[in-house]
Amino acid sequence: MTESTASLVNLSRRGVLAALGISAGGLLLGGPSALLAATGDNPASFGPMLSIAADGAITLVVPSSEMGQGTQEALARIVAEELDCDFTKLTVLLPWADPAFSNPAARRQLTANSMSVTGYYTTLRKLGAGARAMLVQVAATRLGVAVESLSVNAGQITGGPKPLSFADVAADAARLPVPANPSLKDPAKFTVIGGKTPRKDLHAKVTGTATFGIDVAEPDMLIAALVLAPHPEATFTATGLHEARKLPGVVATASVKGGVAILADRFWCAHKAAQTVTLDVTASPIAGLSDETLRAGMQAAFDTVEPAPFPNLELGVFPPKLDRAAKPKVLEALATAPRKVEATYEVPHLAHATMEPICCAARVDGTGLLIRGPLQDPSLSRELGAKLTGLPLEKVRVEVTFLGGGFGRKWGTDFVAIAIQAAQAAPGRLVKTVWTREQDFAMDQFRPAFAVRSVAALDKDGRPTAIHSRIAGESISAYHNKAPFPGFEGMADANAAAQLVYGAYAVPQKLIEYHKTDLTVPVGFWRSVTMSQNAFFAESFIDELAFAAGQDQLAFRLAMLESQPRIRAVLEKAAAMIGWKARKPGTGKGKGRGIAFSYAENSFCAIACEVTVKGKALKIDRIASAFDCGLAIDPVSTEGQISGGIVFGLQAALWGEVHFADGRPTAENFGDYRMPLLADVPPIDVALIPGGTRPGPVGEASTPVFAPALCNAIADAGGPRIRALPIARTLDI
Amino acid sequence: MPVITVNGQQRDCPADPDTPLLWALREELGLTGTKFGCGVGACGACTVHVDGEAVRSCQLPLSDVGAGKVTTIEALSPAEAQALHPVQQAWIEAQVPQCGYCQPGMIMAVSALLARDPDPSEATIREQITNICRCGTYPRIVAAVRQAAAANRKAS
């Protein structure tokens, strides 16, 4: 991903100060930029994120949404590292929607794709370094010494005739021009970055004082409970609304996208009233949908839909390279191969099941629209608010709370639209829409189901010479009307097809194709998106090739990864952690070990695991993971993302499956969608491998790797080759 | 009007008697540390103590609280202690929380376990704590419970 300055917004500094009500004397800096240097008077891309008060308190608005991934801590550390402040005096604020807070990598303010740290890294370093330079400049002038003679540590400026603190010089420093290119630290001297102190948000999270979306409250607030049809585009007639309005506590009812809302003074009143209302569905895009029709739809796509190609992605280099396959060459290699291996795979729809059910608060009044909630995409929420209310964008304020889990679900804005529509029924009052867990499951935007057909050619030595994999399943981009990524026009939806065959493997001929499948199931972005299915497909098939070749699964992979030192390193480390010894695959006699990896630009994750298989009984004995994300800003949190991501992947691998019957998903609550508990989680060891001075993506890295590692281990133990997830369809666990 | 004892105080709860304790705590008393996760007693995000026992408050109607003494995450450590409860401290030291949504319930479940079994084995911890954490913080939870248990033993 390349840094871009295209999102820089030239805001008037005075306008920004006025809008925020920041008193004179505080230090406000935008991200440094060429713009700023050119004009000398305008804060740049990220506008007002940092302030230093007269008492030395430092406040940083972290522009990304905190949903557990630790973005708040990581971004704060980046600024603090270059600022050389006392990190304990830095307080973090949750963000609001503001173009000045856009992620340079996305050119929007959204938290997704594991790109908060990577996208904001350079800009936030410059923000901290620029502020530091201004503070030191004032100190040097005041003390009559050269800037170079001063040093800064924990907010204290020393080296002159007397020490000065940031608080002493902040007011004057704020009046200086912001340096365009402040010198940045040598990463070897980082102390805050790479440190192991506990995250700043932990205290609030263990005392129950962290404010999540569901905790938003103010006097006179109303709660909206929903009655929802089985699909957002379904049409229906509602019965019982008139009677519901007369129930105790009920204030109003509202039509919302795909259903109705009952507004009451308390959740329980709204909830009870909602249960008295029924929707008679007159038409639904998924009428009659069932597991059987879904499977038939994918079969039909393979049979009747002309496949769209997708390029191989070489992500081990920066910037990543695209390699467009020559289909005739691939087909010829397959046709003339001495040996072919074929396999078909499938994965089901998956639910997000964030612990905080979907919720969002909104208020429409004379001053505009306020949206306050657990949002991954405040930019889009704001635009949606303007569209739905007809208000100009500047009259729409969007405030982001802590997210009780996001995993991509809260990137959707379906629930924001519903919250706004509910609020429009009670102008002047904050209305908090709270979904039940049942609604959270039923009206999820699921990870789509996919089916894959793969074929590979092996030469006489068992080396793969060609791999052709085709995938069918619903397009997330099509469901959300999203344009293809730049450079991918006319190609398959990357969310379905990318890395279906790993570009990293030195296989001479590789071809990825996508049979677009129209199923109209609401689908969306689920932690690791494409890789959530394709790591399973890609790494299971490679393992099957190792079996066919009769070669040790690790050695087989390494032989195709000679130009991928960082992938080799994580594979070899994970293997060592699990005690891997080379042998013929599938000969584990009930005790197997498997390995798999996934990768993105500057992010490489390998997982090895050990299992015991006796008949149909599966036991996962141990899990080990090695991870290289370049520079880990917050290593303890990074390790937690890897082990937590494995548990997330374990749920999907073992039990994750949303069934459909009679035109609706059947999962109602956790009883129908099994979650791992403490007793289900085996020991997980994580090793971080340093990989340079640039941070890479973290939050989605391990989730997709666990399923193939586990299935490969099961096959190695002599158990069945799992080609359809979840594993509980085949084995007992 | 139901009156319940919460965090050492008698509190009026002007809600319907069939209102689950969870919602009364959150909406009548402003104690939002207790979370709504599933509404069916499956996830444990709403765990509070009633007379020292861990209870899933989404399953307890206000009318059934009676004279039970309810403690929520906000008062797990009494104000006069001026320190976090050992379980909360262990949670910070082991850096357990990620999104943090389930953690108040998790901490209430663990503190109730430690109150009746000050030194649980790992097997006991895994068997007795059945709250759901979607972020998958389980590996650190085991470590943190053992750390809190050790701190308890040291203190006693």
Q: Is A460 exposed, middle or buried (0-12, 13-18, 19+ CB in 10 A)?
A: exposed
Query: Closest by alpha carbon to A83, among A107, A104, A58?
Result: A58
- Give the DSSP letter of residue B27: I
**Residues of B numbered 10-39 whose beta carbons fall under 8 angstroms of chain A's beta carbons: which are they?**
15-16, 18-20, 23, 26-27, 30-39
Q: Which amino acid is at A609?
A: C
B99: nearest CB among A404, A681, A683: A404
B99: nearest CB among A267, A355, A643: A355
A205 reaches B (C-beta below 8 A): yes
| B40 neighbourhood in chain A, CB within 8 Å | 437, 669-671
Query: Closest by alpha carbon to A212, among A372, A63, A62?
Result: A372
Q: How many angstroms separate the CA atoms of A41 and A29, rounded?
A: 11
Query: Closest by alpha carbon to A466, among A345, A596, A335?
Result: A335
Q: Domain A217-285+358-434, CATH 3.30.70.120 — does that match?
A: no
Q: Are B51 and B33 in contact (CB under 8 A)?
A: no
Asked if the domains at A13-207 and A296-349+446-729 fall in one CATH topology, the answer is yes
Residues whose CB is less than 8 angstroms from the CB of residue A457 and which lie 6 or more positions away in sequence, other chains included: A333, A334, A336, A337, A338, A339, A340, A464, A465, A466, A467, A509
Closest A-chain CA to B136: A644
Share the mean pLDDT of chain A: 92
Sign of CA dihedral A620, A624, A630, A634: positive
Q: Which amino acid is at A352?
A: H
Q: Given an 8 Å threshold on Cβ–Cβ distance, is B30 in contact with A217?
A: yes
Sign of CA dihedral A374, A377, A380, A386: positive
ipTM exceeding the 0.85 mark = yes
- pLDDT of A6 reads 25
Closest B-chain CA to A675: B132
Token code pair at residue A383: 């635009």
With a cut of 70, list the residues of chain A below it in pLDDT.
1-47
- Cα distance from B49 to chain A (closest Cα, Å)? 14
Q: Given an 8 Å threshold on Cβ–Cβ distance, is A641 in contact with B98?
A: yes
Closest A-chain CA to B44: A355
Beta bridge partners of A467: A456, A510
More confident residue, A653 or B1: A653
Q: Taking the mean position of all CA atoms in its chain, how far away is CA A599?
A: 15
Residue B54 vs residues A554, A604, A680, B150: alpha-carbon distances, Å: 47, 41, 21, 21
| A210 neighbourhood in chain B, CB within 8 Å | 100
CATH topology for the A296-349+446-729 domain? Aldehyde Oxidoreductase; domain 4 (3.30.365)
A406 reaches B (C-beta below 8 A): yes
| B107 neighbourhood in chain A, CB within 8 Å | 206
More confident residue, B124 or A37: B124
Helices (H), A84-221: 116-143, 166-173, 202-207
Closest B-chain CA to A66: B99
Number of H helices, E strands in chain A: 20, 28
Q: How many CB pairs under 8 A join A and B?
A: 185
Whether B109 shows a pLDDT value over 70: the answer reads yes
Q: Given an 8 Å threshold on Cβ–Cβ distance, is A404 in contact with B137?
A: no
Residue A43 vs residues A37, A58, A131, A142, A179: alpha-carbon distances, Å: 10, 18, 12, 25, 11
For residue B68, report the phi and psi dihedrals to the nearest 5 degrees: -60, 140
Domains in chain B: ranges and CATH: 3-75 (3.10.20.30), 79-155 (1.10.150.120)
Task: Express each pLDDT in B56-104 by its tens digit.
Answer: 999 999 999 999 999 999 999 988 888 999 999 999 999 999 999 999 9
**Residues of B numbered 79-118 whose beta carbons fall under 8 angstroms of chain A's beta carbons: which are they?**
84, 88, 91-93, 95-104, 107
Could you tell me the residue ranges of all domains in chain A?
A: 13-207, 217-285+358-434, 296-349+446-729
Q: Given an 8 Å threshold on Cβ–Cβ distance, is B40 in contact with A212?
A: no
Q: Given an 8 Å threshold on Cβ–Cβ distance, is B125 in contact with A678?
A: yes
Q: Domain A13-207, CATH 3.40.50.1370 — does that match?
A: no
Q: How many angstroms separate the CA atoms of A349 and A448, rounded?
A: 5
Q: How many angstroms separate the CA atoms of A568 and A138, rounded?
A: 50
A640 reaches B (C-beta below 8 A): yes
Using CA atoms of A690, A692, A694, A695 in order, give the dihedral in degrees to the nearest 10: -10
Q: Is A219 exposed, middle or buried (0-12, 13-18, 19+ CB in 10 A)?
A: exposed
Sign of CA dihedral B124, B127, B133, B137: positive
Task: Express each pLDDT in A106-139 by its tens digit.
Answer: 999 999 999 999 999 999 999 999 999 999 999 9
**Residues of A numbered 244-273 whose beta carbons fall under 8 angstroms of chain B's beta carbons: which are they?**
248, 266-269, 272
Number of H helices, E strands in chain B: 5, 5
| B32 neighbourhood in chain A, CB within 8 Å | 208, 211, 214-215, 217
Q: Given an 8 Å threshold on Cβ–Cβ distance, is A684 in contact with B139?
A: yes
